[in-house]
Each structure stands twice: as structure tokens, then as C-alpha cells.
Amino acid sequence: MRLKAIKLAGFKSFVDPTTVPFNTNMTGIVGPNGCGKSNTIDAVRWVMGESSAKYLRGDAMTDVIFNGSAERKPVGKASVDLIFDNSDGTLRGEYAAYSEISLRRQVTRDGQSSYYLNGTKCRKKDITDIFLGTGLGPRSYAIIEQGMISRLIEAKPEELRVYVEEAAGISKYKERRRETENRMRRTNENLERLQDIREELERQLSHLKRQADAAEKYKEYKAQEREKKAQLQALKWQILDNDYRQREQQIAQHQVQFEAHTAEQRSADADIEALRLEHTDKSDEFATAQAKFYEIGSQIARQEQKVEHQAQMALQLDQEMAEVEKSILDTQRSLEDDQLQLEGIVEEKLMLEPELEMLLAGEEESTEALAVAEEKQQGWQEQWEQFTQRASEPTRQAEVAQTRMQNIEQQLSRLQQQISRLQDEKRELAENPELEEIQLLQEEVSEQEMASEGLQERVDELQQQVQQNREQLDARRRQLEDGKNQLQHFINRKATLDALQKAALGEGSEAVSHWLESHQLSRKPRLAEQLHVDEGWERAVETVLGDYLQAVVIDDLDPTQHWLGNLKEGQLALWQHAVEQGQHAIEQGQHAIGQGQEAVEANSLLSKVRSEQDVSGFLARVKIANDLPQALAMRSQLSGDESVITPEGIWLGKQWLRVAKTADGEGGVLARQQELETLEEQIEELDIQVEEWEVDLEADQLKLRSTEQQREVAQRELQQASQQLIHLKSQLSGKQARAEQFALRSDKLDQDIAETRESQELERESLEEVRLQWQEAMSAIDEDSGQRERLLAEKTQVQLALDQARMAAGQNKDRSHQLQLQVQGLSSKEQGLNQAIERLAAQMQRLRERRDQIAANQQRDHSLDLEELKAQLEELLEQKLSAEQVMQAARHALESVDTQLRQLEQKRADAEKKALEVRNELEKVRMECQALDIRRQALVEQLQEAKLSLEQVLETMPEEADPDIWQQELQKLAERIQRLGAINLAAIEEYKTQSERKVYLDAQHADLEKALSTLEGAIHKIDRETRTRFKETFDKMNAGLAELFPKVFGGGHASLELTGDDLLDTGVAIMARPPGKKNSTIHLLSGGEKALTAIALVFSIFQLNPAPFCMLDEVDAPLDDANVGRYARLVKAMSEKVQFIYITHNKIAMEKASQLMGVTMHEPGVSRLVSVDVEEAAEMIDQ
């Protein structure tokens, strides 16, 4: 890797965009003093991440921005691009594929600095990570300044040792050792302080433990008491709930009974109505039968009269007439009875109708009364809501007044304390201020501020390190995870390809595998594994060799004639290995045309194959064509044993063509074999890389934990220092304030005391006013309490009146319903009697007509034949007997219906009575149920006030809970709480806090002891590593110095020597012997000799880990021409491997450069660049 170019814009004196190209490995930058040559080196250092303005020859980072000149204005930002040529792949990892890397940094006037990598914005860490392991960096040894040479020349042995340590990379070990020792010292101090705190804390915990135990018992007893009370209320609720449910069951039973009786009453009414209709029908039947009986009797009588003598006829007619008259009288009496009964029913109806009207009116009145009662209940509810809303205001006023009284009392207490404090202060004014203490405190504050600033810087630095370590650890984890995923992908891919390759090579046949194992041939290679085919021709070789690719390569085929009989089934191919033939085949296959072989062999498929096996017999006579048209064109030129094939495997002879296509997408055997070999290499490399990443990850984790521990220690120290500083400042401020106000305070104290007492009086007056407001509010609350009781009493009266109104309305409704049913029954009877009267009147009319007919018959029937009359008489007697039976049956049926009707009326009256009794009982149970519900709801509200739900209490309550036992338990808990005495509830939390602190302190004590042991081990490890690395680096530097010193001096000898025996602190001296002089230290040499010796030492350090390029800033300034020549020749020799960019004023050094870059300043304050290729210029001169 080499630096290709630097692009500057607005950076220091390079205000215009300027590109500094580096086309050779020896580039010299020349120009007058102050023209901006060294700004190019500063630009490189700045882009590589330099964060200190001091190393950029400035005071602030914004100093790198062009600040203007006499003719130009300042610019707003500066930017520098470094272009690297990475074609040799020096940068590894994800940047190895880039042949050119571009790094850019820019800064604006507001101090915002940005980094870019290949045009993409990135972090500073990404820039520094690129150069890890390359020897490049903002302060690396790749940038050598004249100041570095001067420091080496004047360095003492102890100072020179620092350069060896930096080259060995052990300066960080020394810093770690120093930090470790400081941490050990602080750890011991912390252990002592921690032990004192633990002892004091143990004493406090013993006292707090007793208070906390008592407080825990108190809380436990109170919790049990609340639980028992809640459960007792729940038990009472259960009892009331059971009673309530029993009442509900009774209500349901009574309701069912009431409905049953009502249904029975209605059923009886329906049956009575049906029987009355049947009674009417039976009465009609009886009247018809009776009329027919009487008519037949009349006919018999007439017929008998016809039989007897005329006298007897007349007598009979007289008797019949008498019977008719008697029937008329009987009918008349029945008609009169029915009319009397009808009059009684009408009279009873007339008597019932006023009562019914009165009951209906009472029902309306009771309904109105019920509405009035409900309206009163609603009115009471509104009054209750208005009262509760109004009553809350005095309560709020009382609470506000109470709060104000407490505040005023507290204010009075504070004022009294203030008066006491002022009086005490007035007494203290007689004492003189302690000025000496103020002076001492000021010194302590100054020292503490310096210490706190140092600790804050340390904490910030450690915090930044922690953040950087975390970012590095996260990146390392992602890198490791990606590597493992990639490795697993390669392994899976290889396994898949192995399986496919085994199947393709016939290794899947059990019979063949068993045969090969039995003859120790299973581990022999297959022919396909020993063929290396040029990319793109795998398919062609597979097509020609075919199954022979599966052939097992053995040393000799002769022994197999005795073995083949053992192969029962399967396909097998064997290939005899012949090294000489294989080598001949390789020679034939590689560049046969250049070695004098025939042109046909160079154009054969054999030229695409490299192998130890001789496959020329298969491939030498097979020509190759790039595509099918070319192959078809070559076919006419083929001889009998020649053929031609394309990369796709299309194989043609003079008279034949063969194509082999595969269905899978995994490629052929040879392509698969090459991919397997590539995968094996990738897996091996990636496996090694993953192991290295895991080691790096563990190192990063250890580094992060170490840095975090250092940060925590620093934070604790900073916190302690800050607290101490605050304490000191507070003391100092207090003393200074007392000293400054001493003279003024004495005169003002009396005034303050008077004002405070006046404020007391005002507060007392306010207290009295507020107390009056509180008393008024409490009086209002008391008045509201009486009104509350009155309203609650009214609620009971209103509720009772409402219940009575509901009961009266129900009773009136039932009574009016009963009367309505009774009136309906009388109306039915009245209708029946009217119908009976109409029938009797009709019967009376018929009897009278019969009487008239008899009288006419007496006049008409005197001459009838006697026998005929007797026969007619017998017939009529039989009809009379039948009519009498029918009449008797109708009479019995009518009497039966009358009996049933009377029974149903009695049944209806009984049902009506029972329904009334059940209704009264139902109303009673309902009232009891409402009372139980109110008591039950009151218990639920009490639980809700305690922030509990009834369901929650019932779920957690034991099954064996009993009210009496629970009441006894509550009494016992109250006695236990009383026996505990005074309780400090804060002791629980305080004990818990102090216990946690004790555990934390114990763990901290153990951690400190463990950390102390770890630190001691770390120091021993650091010392071992330091000695080893120092000795190895010292020897390498000594060897490099011994090699380079004769080159820069043209002879002589130089070496490094240790000034002591302990490798941890020994100094380093440079012993030099220039040609012709004695061996001496560098301090005894001349100025030029010192500079040359220092240059040799610097280059020996550089050779330990050479960077891709090296920048030298006027290193040759103190040298004469002869020494400059040797210096330039050394640089020239080293430039074969390392790119050198050096700033010089020496002509000899300029001559050695392959490219000269001139920096001029034609315009004051603005640098410009002139580039000259020395070699090209020399060629132009020669021409």
C-alpha cells in the first residue's frame, strides 16, 4: 500500500483546492521557509485522526481552517483527502477488494468534524481501525520530524529508554502498572474506610432489627385484624344472604301458591259458567218432557172419557180439566217462585253494585295514593341528593380551615424558631469571626477543586474508553457472529456437495463399497479427484470420460483379476496409476504448441486438463470448439478417430453427435470437485480466523470489564471529592457570609425580631379567623347531621307509606275483582231465571190452550167407538209411561247439575279465600326480604370503604370460618397490638435499606479483596511481559543500529547498552564509534554525528515494523553535504520497499528524489504547488 495523493481545500495555507500527487517512492517537498511545506505532513496526521491541536501547531482544532490573508477572506471549512493505492492488498478484511481507498476529514468553524471513507460518512474509529497493524497513525513512527531527532540527541538514558518501550509497545504496560499501583493504594484505603462503615452499620442493624421485628408484628397483627374484620362482615353478609335467599324462595313459593289459587278460582268461574249453560239446557229438556207427559196424560184422560159413558166421559173430562187446572196452578206457582228468586237476584245485584262502584273508586284512590307515595319517595330522594351535595361544602370548608390552621400553626412555630434563632445570633455577634479558618478553607477548596477537576477528566476519559471498548466489543461480536454464520454456511454447503459427489462417484453402492473395503481400496482416490480442468471445460471432460471419472485409482491392475470374482453386483471402474505417463500427459496438456508438439494437440481437450494420470488416450484426439457452429464447421476436417466437443458438452464425430444434459442444478462431478476443494480452503482459513476473533473477543471483554471497574472507582472517588468540595464550599460560604454581614447584621437583628413578632400577631389573628370559620363549618356539619337523621327517618316513613299504599292498592284491586266476579255470577243466574220464566209462561200458555181444547173435546167426542177408544187408551197409557220415564230422567239430570253448580260455587269461594291469605303472607315476606337486602348492602358498602370487594374476601376466607370464633380472634388481636406498645413503622424500610447496604458493603468488601489480589497478580504479569518485550525489542534495535550506522557514516560501529541490570527501569545509552574515532556515548559526538546517529536509530526503530510510507520533515537540516549524501543514499535504498516523502532544503537530498514537489507562496498567506518529475526532466535535458 502506498500514499497516492493528498487533496487539500481550505486547510491552513492551502486555501484553494490542491492535489499533491506521489507518483514515486522518493518524493521530495521543497520550498522557502514559511511557505507551508510542513502543512502537508500536518494534513496527513490530521486525517489519520489527530485530535490534539498542539500536534498540529495550533491552539484549537479550528486553527487548521484558512483564517484569511491580506487579500482573501477566511473560509468556512477545511477538508483533506488521502488517496491510498491498495492494489497489493495490504489492507485486509472488507477493504482487501478495493484497489484504491479514499479517506477524508473536514471541519467547520463551529468545530463539527466529519470523517468519510470512500465517500461514505463514518466514525473516527473506522479510520483508525483501517490502519491497525500497518504502523500508520496520527502519532506513529512513520512521521519523523526534526524535533524527534533533537529529542533523541539530547535524551538521557532514562528518556532514551522510552523510545525502546514505545517500539516494544510496553509503554502501555507501564501506564497500566502505574494505574494498577494507584488502584491498589486506593483499594487499601477503601478497604479501611469500608471496614469502619461495616462495623458501625452492624451496630445500627442490631437496634433496627428489634424495632423492625416489632413493626413487622404490628403490621402483621393489623393486617390480620383487617382481614378478620372483613371476613366477619362477609360472614354476616353470608347469614343475611342465606336469609334473603330463603325469603326469595318463600316469595316464589307464595307467588306460585297465589297464582295456583287464582287459577283455581278462574277455573271454577269457567266451570260455573259452563254448568249454568248446561243447567239452562237441562231445564229446557225437563220442561219439554214434562209438557209431553202432561199432554199424553191429557190424551189418556180424553180417551178414557170416550170409553166411559157419556157421564163418565164428562167426569173424566172434568177430572182432566181439573188436572190441567192443577198444572196451571203448579206452573203458576213455579213461575211465581222464579219471579221471586229473580227479584232477589236483582235486589242482590242492586245491593252489590254500589259496593262495587265504591271498591272501584277505592281502587282508583289507592292507585292515586300509591302514585303520591312514589312521588314522595322520589321527592325524598331528590332532597337527599340535594342535602348530600350541600352537606359536602361545610365538610370541604372544615378540611380547608383545618389545613389552614395547621399551616398557620406551623408558620407560628417557624416564626418563633426564627425569633429564637435571631436572638441566638444576636448573642453570637459579640464573638469575632474566625478569619484564619476562612483562609484555610479557601486553600482547601482550591486544592479540592483541582483534585475534582483531575478526577472528572479521569472519569470522562474512562467513560470515553468504556464507550470505545463497547463499540469495539459490539463490532467484534458482529464480526464473530458473521464469521460463524459464514463458516456454518460453508460447512453445510460442503456436506451437501460431499453427498452429491459420493452419489455421483458411485460411492453409494453398498456392494461396491464392501468390495473396495475388503481389498483395502476404499481410501484410494477417484480419477475425478485427480483431474484439474480449466474453468469452463468441466462439462466437456465429463462427457468424454463419462463413468471413468468414478474409477478408483490403484497402483497395478494385475492383482484385480483374482478379486473381481468377489464382486456380486454393481458397477466398478479401476484406473492404473502411472507417474511417468501422468507427467507426460501434463506436459502434453500445457502449452503444447510452444514445446514443438503438433498443433492438433494444442487444440485438443487434453490441453485443458492437468493431472498425474494419463488420460491422453481419451482426450488427445478430441478437438475443442468454442461453440456448436464452430464444431459443426470443424466436423468435415475430422479423421475417423477424431471428434470435437464444445464447453457445453456437445460432442460430435464425423458421423455422429452426442449431448448429455443433467436435470440437477449442482453442476458436474469435476466442477463440484473444484468447488469442494475451494470450500475446504475457505473453511480452514475461516476456522482459523474465527478462533482468532474469539480470542480477540475475550481480550476485548476483559479490557471492557477492566475499564468499567476503573471508571466505577474513579466515579466513586469523584463523588466523594465532590461531596467534600460541596461541604467545604458550604462552610466557606457560611463563614464568609458571617464575616461580610457581621457589621450590618447587629443593627438589623432588632428590626427583624420586631417584624417577626408582628408577623406572629398577624398569623395569630388569621388563626383566630380561620378557627371561627372551622367552628362555623363544624356547626353546619352538626346541623347537617340532624337533618341527615331527619331525612333518614323520613326515608323510613316514606318507604313504609309506599309499602302500605302498594298493599292497599293490591287489596282493593283483589276485592273489586271478587265483587266483579260475584256480580257476573248473579247476572248469569238472572239470565237463567228469565229464561226459565219465559219457559214457564210458555208452558202456562200451552196448559191454558189445553184446557180450552178439553172443553171443546167435551162437546165433540160423545159418539166415539168404545173398543177403538180402549185401544187408543192403551196406546196412550204406554206413551204416558215412556214420557214419565223421560221426565224423571230430565228431572234427575237437572238436579245433578244444580248440585254440581252449588259445589263449584263453594269451591270458588274457598279458592278466593286461600288466595287472599297467600297474598297477605306474600306481602309480609317481601317486606322482610327488603329489610334483609338493605342490611346486606350496608355490609358490602362497609367492605368497599375498606378498599375490599366481597368476592375477594369470600374467596380467601377459610371454610371453617365462624362469626363467634372470628369475634374472639379480633379481641385477641386487639390485645396483642396493645401489648406491643409504641411502634416505629419507619424502622422496617430503614432496616431493609441498611440491610441491603450491608449486603452491598459486604460484597464490595469481598470484591475489593478479590480486586486487590487480582491487581497484585496483574502487576507480576505486567512485569514479566515488560521484561520479555523490552529485551526482545532492545536486541532487534541493537542489531538494526549496528547494520544502519556504517551505512550512514561510511563505516564505524554503534550499539545500544543498558545502564542497569533490572530490565524494568534500566536506562539505555547509545555507544557510537564513527570511522577513525574511539567508542564513546552520543553526547561526546559532534552535532552532525549526533544527528546521523539519531537518524540511524530512528530508522532501526522504523525497520522493526515498517509502515507503508514514511514522512521526514527536514531531518537532514543539521547534516553537512557528505553526511546528507549518505543519509540520502540510505533513504534511497530503503525506498525500494517503503515510500518516502521528505521535506528538505538540501540540494543533495533533492537530487536523490525521483519527484520534486515545490511549495511556493506568490500570494501572501496562500500556498501553491509545483510538481517536477526529476527523471522525466533529466530525459528532456538529454534530448
DSSP string, 66-103: ----SSSPPPSEEEEEEEEE-TT--S-GGGTT-SEEEE
- Is residue 469 included in any domain, yes or no? no
Q: Which residue has the higher pLDDT, 843 or 669?
A: 843
Q: Is 863 a residue whose pLDDT tops 70? A: no
| 1143 and 998 part of one domain | no
**pLDDT score recorded for residue 1177:** 57
pLDDT digits (tens, 9 = 90+) for 505-554: 555 456 666 677 666 676 677 777 777 788 778 788 877 877 677 677 77
Number of domains in the chain: 3
- Is residue 137 included in any domain, yes or no? yes
- Report the pLDDT averaged over residues 652-676: 69
- β partners of residue 1168: 1160
d(CA 701, CA 480): 13
| 32 and 114 part of one domain | yes
Residue 590's alpha-carbon distances to 155, 624, 671, in angstroms, are 64, 15, 20
If pLDDT is split at 50, 70 and 90, which confidence band does 252 have? Answer: confident
- How many other β-carbons are positioned within 10 Å of the β-carbon of residue 665? 5
- Report the pLDDT averaged over residues 255-271: 82
pLDDT digits (tens, 9 = 90+) for 434-444: 556 776 777 78
**pLDDT score recorded for residue 79:** 95
Q: Which residue has the higher pLDDT, 236 or 439?
A: 236
The boundaries of the domain holding residue 615 are: 537-580+597-646
d(CA 618, CA 642): 11
Q: Is 473 a residue whose pLDDT tops 80? A: yes
**pLDDT score recorded for residue 7:** 95
**pLDDT score recorded for residue 600:** 40
- Report the pLDDT averaged over residues 181-194: 80
- Is residue 1083 included in any domain, yes or no? yes
- Is residue 155 included in any domain, yes or no? yes
Closest CA to 264 of 850, 915, 876: 915
**pLDDT score recorded for residue 509:** 57
Beta strands in 501-659 (DSSP E): 531-533, 552-554, 574-576, 609-611, 622-624, 643-645, 650-652, 657-659
- How many other β-carbons are positioned within 10 Å of the β-carbon of residue 797? 11
If pLDDT is split at 50, 70 and 90, which confidence band does 115 have? Answer: very high
| 196 and 115 part of one domain | no
If pLDDT is split at 50, 70 and 90, which confidence band does 75 have? Answer: very high
Residue 16's alpha-carbon distances to 21, 77, 107, in angstroms, are 16, 12, 16
**pLDDT score recorded for residue 130:** 82
d(CA 732, CA 438): 6
From 615, 630, 646, the end of a domain falls on 646
% of residues, the chain, pLDDT over 70: 84
**pLDDT score recorded for residue 584:** 45
**pLDDT score recorded for residue 665:** 47
pLDDT digits (tens, 9 = 90+) for 1002-1013: 887 887 788 788
- Report the pLDDT averaged over residues 149-168: 77
- Is residue 688 included in any domain, yes or no? no
Closest CA to 77 of 175, 172, 10: 10
**pLDDT score recorded for residue 587:** 47
- Is residue 968 included in any domain, yes or no? no
Lowest-confidence region among 44-48, 265-269, 730-734, 1083-1087: 730-734
CB 490 within 8 A of CB 683: yes
Q: What is the DSSP string of 805-834?
A: HHHHHHHHHHHHHHHHHHHHHHHHHHHHHH
- Is residue 279 included in any domain, yes or no? no
From 646, 661, 678, the end of a domain falls on 646
Q: What one-letter code names the amino acid at 196?
A: D
CB 77 within 8 A of CB 10: yes
**pLDDT score recorded for residue 507:** 52
Residue 900, exposed/middle/buried by CB under 10 A (0-12, 13-18, 19+)?
middle
pLDDT digits (tens, 9 = 90+) for 755-805: 888 888 888 888 888 888 888 878 877 777 777 777 777 777 777 877 777
Q: Which residue has the higher pLDDT, 836 or 11?
A: 11
CATH code assigned at 70: 3.40.50.300
Give me the chain's average pLDDT, please: 78
**Residue 738 is placed in which grid cell?**
458571617
Q: Is 173 a residue whose pLDDT tops 80? A: no
**pLDDT score recorded for residue 243:** 87
**pLDDT score recorded for residue 29:** 94
**Residue 1069 is placed in which grid cell?**
545509552
- Is residue 325 included in any domain, yes or no? no
Q: What is the DSSP string of 479-525?
A: HHHHHHHHHHHHHHHHHHHHHHHHHHTTTT-HHHHHHHHHTT-TTSP
| 1005 and 1108 part of one domain | no
Q: What is the DSSP string of 1076-1091?
A: TS--EEGGGS-HHHHH
How is residue 526 annotated by DSSP?
B
**pLDDT score recorded for residue 1072:** 86
**pLDDT score recorded for residue 891:** 82
Q: Which residue has the higher pLDDT, 596 or 1074?
A: 1074
**pLDDT score recorded for residue 585:** 44
Pairing of strands 1139-1143, 609-611: unpaired
| 1079 and 1118 part of one domain | yes
Sheet holding 2-9, edge to edge: 18-21, 2-9, 77-85, 100-108, 113-117, 120-122
d(CA 81, CA 117): 10
Q: Is 1074 a residue whose pLDDT tops 80? A: yes
Residue 297's alpha-carbon distances to 284, 303, 335, 854, 882, in angstroms, are 20, 10, 22, 12, 11
d(CA 696, CA 132): 14
Q: Which residue has the higher pLDDT, 579 or 881?
A: 881
Q: Which residue has the higher pLDDT, 446 or 598?
A: 446
Strand, helix or coil at 958? coil
| 18 and 113 part of one domain | yes
**pLDDT score recorded for residue 205:** 79
**pLDDT score recorded for residue 738:** 58
Q: Is 592 a residue whose pLDDT tops 50? A: no
**Position of cell 477538508?**
79
Estimate to the nearest angstrom the gap between the alpha carbon of 793 and the chain centroid: 58
- Angle of the 310-428 helix axis to the 171-307 helix axis, nearest 10: 160
**Residue 155 is placed in which grid cell?**
535524551
**pLDDT score recorded for residue 523:** 66
| 127 and 11 part of one domain | yes
From 626, 646, 666, the end of a domain falls on 646
Q: Which residues contact 232 (CB under 8 A, 6 or more apart)?
A: 963, 966, 967, 970
**pLDDT score recorded for residue 26:** 92
d(CA 451, CA 443): 12
- How many other β-carbons are positioned within 10 Å of the β-carbon of residue 1007? 13
| 191 and 79 part of one domain | no
| 16 and 153 part of one domain | yes
Q: Is 103 a residue whose pLDDT tops 90? A: yes
Lowest-confidence region among 267-281, 379-393, 408-422: 379-393
**pTM for the predicted model, two decimal places:** 0.36
| 1003 and 1058 part of one domain | no
Strand, helix or coil at 550? helix
d(CA 925, CA 936): 16
| 15 and 43 part of one domain | yes
| 1174 and 1125 part of one domain | yes
pLDDT digits (tens, 9 = 90+) for 375-401: 887 777 777 777 777 666 777 777 777
CB 777 within 8 A of CB 397: yes
pLDDT digits (tens, 9 = 90+) for 960-1009: 788 888 888 888 888 877 777 767 677 777 778 878 878 878 887 887 78
**pLDDT score recorded for residue 499:** 61
If pLDDT is split at 50, 70 and 90, which confidence band does 818 have? Answer: confident
